[in-house]
Amino acid sequence: MSEPTPTQSSLAVFLKQRWLGILIVVLVAVFVLQNTGDLRVHLFWMTLTTPTWLLLAILFFLGVVAGSFRTSRKHRAKK
């Protein structure tokens, strides 16, 4: 006879499914916090001086939004 397997908590299941995403968010947070100097950005005719952490956070957020659109479109195409 085999013993029944213990049920896993919902937190354990969540972490097993999303460990890579959590790791990436932590690495991005560390990278952003270590780069706190100012950065000059040239875009077309504009020149902006902004803290590096702010620019990195904005770019990360835009990447998350773009990824969610891609996932959303993929999900809709299956239906």
pLDDT (tens, 9 = 90+) of the chain, 79 residues, equals 445 456 678 877 777 888 888 888 898 888 878 888 898 988 889 998 988 888 888 888 998 898 888 766 666 666 5
Q: At what angle do helices 52-78 and 10-34 cross, to 10 degrees?
A: 140
pTM for the full predicted model: 0.54
| 68 Rama sector, left if φ>0, alpha if ψ -120 to 50, beta otherwise | alpha
pLDDT of residue 32: 78
